[in-house]
Amino acid sequence: MSLRIAINGASGRMGKALIEAVNANDNTTLSAAIERPDSSLIGADAGELAGIGKLGVTLVGDIESVADQFDVLIDFSAPAATLRNLAVCEQHQKGIVIGTTGFDSQEKAELDAYQDKIPLCLAANYSTGVNVCLKLLEMAAKALGDDYDVEIYEAHHRHKVDAPSGTALRMGEVVAEALGRDLGKDAVYGREGQTGARDQNTIGFATVRGGDVVGDHTVMFMADGERVEITHKASSRQSFARGAVRAAQWIAAQPAGFYDMQDVLKLR
């Protein structure tokens, strides 16, 4: 039986990629598409918006109106909207795949409160390649240790609203955990002026925004005489969309709990 998937933020760049990925998968069906209630696109066909032809699924502005039409919601939107949709999913016992980034500490605590209620997958990046890189970063940090300085570079398109990217932050978290450090204390977000010598525990972040860059990330481990770099470059949002659809298929079969792509890909 085909898994019924709803997409929130369906008219955005990522939403359109998700529509295409769901439609291309033989085991999934787009059954609902959701946008902001004030969107001028309400009532439009989701497939036509995504450029793949009519699918017979029209955009709605209220998730409650389609709550009985999907098995799993994929939500790449904004923190406030995601939390509202999460409450609806809990009420109707639906699984959810969250690609939204930029949650503050209070919002993260709200997310945590749902882990015993419904199956929830949260990841900063759903690309299979990125998640393999996260595993490699853990291995590299443990092997290289404190003798190597760590710097993280990321670049995205001009429209991205948060910085550093959620993926870059997750990479920093993985490295910090492997080294026994606290990213909240050791992260440095950009440098300017007379900054003094580099502290050994620093994990630095450099952010670039411009053009139509889908997403570039490089973590550098630097020591005297050598440098190790782990890099991922995305050329299409389909890499993220396919991973999110894969996560939706996996999460549909899981009990209530808080999962991420490391769980989906069995990289734990």
Q: Average pLDDT over the chain, rounded to whole?
A: 95
In the predicted structure, residue 1 carries a pLDDT above the cut 80: no
* Total number of residues shown for the chain: 268
Q: What are the percentages of helix, strand and coil residues in the chain, rounded to 5? A: 35, 25, 40
pLDDT (0 to 100) of residue 208 = 97
Looking at the annotation, which residues are catalytic?
A: 156, 160
Which domains are seen in the chain, by residue range?
3-122+237-264 (3.40.50.720), 128-234 (3.30.360.10)
pTM for the model:
0.83
Confidence class for position 124, pLDDT limits 50, 70, 90 = confident
CA distance 63 to 66: 6
What's the pLDDT score for residue 34?
97
Q: Kindly state the tokens that stand for 50.
A: 């995504």
- Beta carbons of 213 and 155 less than 8 angstroms apart: yes
Pairing of strands 215-223, 149-156: antiparallel
Pairwise CA distance, residues 80 & 186, whole Å: 28
Beta strand spans in 46-107 (E): 59-60, 72-75, 95-98
DSSP per-residue codes, 210-251:
-TT--EEEEEEEEETTEEEEEEEEES-THHHHHHHHHHHHHH
Containing 165, the helix (H) or strand (E) segment is none
Q: Under DSSP, is residue 203 helix (H, G, I), strand (E, B) or coil?
A: strand
pLDDT tens-digit readout, 128-172 = 999 999 999 999 999 999 999 999 999 999 999 889 998 999 999
Distance from C-alpha of 263 to C-alpha of 250, rounded to nearest angstrom? 9
Mean pLDDT of 64-78: 96
CA 174 to chain centre: 15
